Amino acid sequence: MIKEVEIKLQPRALHDLALIKKLAIKKAKVNATQVEEVVVKRRSIDARGTRPVFRLRVEVYVEEKRNAEPAILEQFQNVENAKSVIIVGAGPAGYFAALELIELGLKPIIFDRGKDVQTRRRDLRAIQQFGEVNPHSNYCFGEGGAGTYSDGKLYTRSHKRGNIAKSLQLLVEHGAVSDILIDAHPHIGSNKLPKVVANIRETILKYGGKIHFDSHVTDFIFTEKTNGSEAKKMVGVIVNEKDEHRAEGIILATGHSARDIYELLHQRDIRLEVKPFALGVRVEHPQPLIDKIQYRQEEREENLPASSYRLACQVGERGVFSFCMCPGGLVVPAATAPGEIVVNGMSMSRRDSPFANSGTVVAVEPEDLAPFAKHGVFAGLEFQKSVERAMFQFGDGSQKAPSQRMTDFVNNKLSKDLPDTSYIPGLISAPVSTLLPKQIGEKLRMGMKEFGRKMKGYYTEEANIIGTESRTSSPLRIPRNPKTLMHQDAEGLFPCGEGAGFAGGIISAAMDGQNVARAVAQYFE
């Protein structure tokens, strides 16, 4: 018999396994001599009371032993001589698609425009220290995708889109800490995730897959429509403008910032669709201030992690909301081309930076895009570019980012000085509120005042407003048939992940990769 109970635990007792077992047995109302094992299944923080506590959901095995699930990787077999599938992009969508293909007996061949996760560090240093942007290797492009060095968070609300537990288990089998299997908001950390990504690469290679870095897909290969088919067939890719590679199935998992891929598809008459997106700034507070607000303690108690927040409100007809909150984190430069300023956030595994940051964005509406209507389906993309360029042009030609104190931002006042920041390239005092499109800036100002009413202490001159947070998601979707997951204009083309508009984060992208891999296998049957 298995009894599931919930217990509360003071933070200082978080790692007291004997106490956890004792409390669980008492709550289950069973005799301790009958208990074979006590297993924590879920862990979260409840800070709603006068003092924060951990809530644990625990399984108590009574006169019954737990059957351990076999490792997923134990079921893999070599696919070196199996039918091939091309995957464009080595981010979470591409890599988890590759793992699923191997499990299904198919051979993944991956092409990524960037570098392997270790070599990629040099280009991150170049953008941080010297303002040099490599358009193929940066915080967005390269092995592991955008999440590897600028995220590490694994939380998702996409519970109906796939098997979250399987995705997390695969990360654990590749070196992630097992805590991610039980934490309500799992997090690996941008210092540890690269090793996990490298281990996934080794698994793909070990079982017969192929991975090619510095391999930029510059064109697609099609056959003409035949036998009354309404769609032409994609049969391969051209890499680095010269090398042809062919396969019967192509998974396109290039991420939300691969703008050239959208343009290439458009040139090839492959339909794209406009998709909702949001744009704004990154807000950076001192982490002790956020801890004090959320935990109602002058100093954070032992075992309590750096606290986070999630805020949202309506300003008129528009939503204003926090996004990708990074407690104990850093603000990083996420430009993918020279001449633009884009910022993002990340946290290390220990989340021990003295700063907390979060994207704070406004939903972009059709009227915002009216000045860019001549660009058709690319209007949102051009809108994004215009804001990123405006931020860059205000500066000194480096990756220093325009910034204001939050109170000055709300009051449309240039800041005489700026608070300390985690952003390594540095900040420039600037009228961020007017560098943003008028309607975006106005809604953000009103939203931040509302956030200050919802979360006392949030609205403060101690916070930096840093421009611009523009890559929350792509303004375009690469549509696909909801059943076959294949593009209706190109047989054999399977749009996948964030870049296709079907995911938003590491785990949702991983699950979409798994779903698409299964769709490819069905297509081959």
Which pair of structure tokens corresponds to residue 405? 């104190």
Write out pLDDT tens, residues 89-116.
Answer: 999 999 999 999 999 999 999 999 999 9
Beta strands in 120-178 (DSSP E): none
CATH, domain range 79-274+479-524: 3.50.50.60
Whether residue 228 is predicted with pLDDT greater than 70 in this model: the reply is: no
Query: Which residue's entry shows tokens 């997390």?
Result: 168
What single DSSP character describes residue 32? G
Token pair of 411 as six digits: 């009051």
pLDDT at 226 over 70: no
Task: Report, as an integer, the average pLDDT of 218-244.
Answer: 87
CA 297/CA 155 separation, integer angstroms? 26
Tell me the pLDDT tens digit for each residue of 251-286. Answer: 999 999 999 999 999 999 999 999 999 999 999 999
pLDDT tens digits, 412-434: 999 999 999 999 999 999 999 99
At 348, list the tokens.
């290390």
Average pLDDT over residues 3-25: 96
Query: What was the pLDDT predicted at 227?
Result: 60
Lateral strand order in the sheet of 35-46: 2-9, 53-62, 35-46
Which residues is 134 bridged to in the sheet? 137
| Single-letter code of the amino acid located at 144 | G
Judge whether residue 36 has pLDDT over 90.
yes
pLDDT digits (tens, 9 = 90+) for 128-172: 999 999 999 999 999 999 988 876 788 777 666 789 999 999 999
Residue 35 has pLDDT above 70, yes or no: yes
pLDDT tens digits for 362-383?
A: 999 999 999 999 999 999 999 9
Q: In this predicted structure, what is the pLDDT of residue 247?
A: 97
Residues of the chain with CATH 3.30.70.2700: 2-62
Q: Which class for 3: exposed (0-12), middle (13-18), buried (19 or more C-beta within 10 A)?
A: middle
DSSP 374: G
Outline which parts of the chain fall under CATH 3.50.50.60.
79-274+479-524
pLDDT of residue 155: 78
State how far Cα 282 lies from the chain centre: 15
Average pLDDT over residues 337-347: 96
Residue-by-residue DSSP string for 246-308: E-S-EEE---TT-HHHHHHHHHTT---EE---EEEEEEEEEHHHHHHHHH--SSPPTTPPPP-
Residue 238 host element (H or E): strand 232-239
Kindly write down the DSSP assignment for every residue of 88-133, as one continuous string: E--SHHHHHHHHHHHHTT-EEEEE-SS--TTTHHHHHHHHHHS---
Question: Quick one: average pLDDT of 215-223?
Answer: 96
What was the pLDDT predicted at 158? 67
Q: Above 70 in pLDDT, residue 225?
A: no
Cα 432 to Cα 430: distance, rounded to the nearest angstrom = 5
**Does 245 score more than 80 pLDDT?**
yes
Q: CB of 311 within 8 A of CB of 321?
A: yes
Answer whether CATH 2.30.33.40 is correct for domain 2-62.
no
Rg of the chain, C-alpha, whole Å: 24
**Is the per-residue pLDDT at 230 higher than 70?**
no
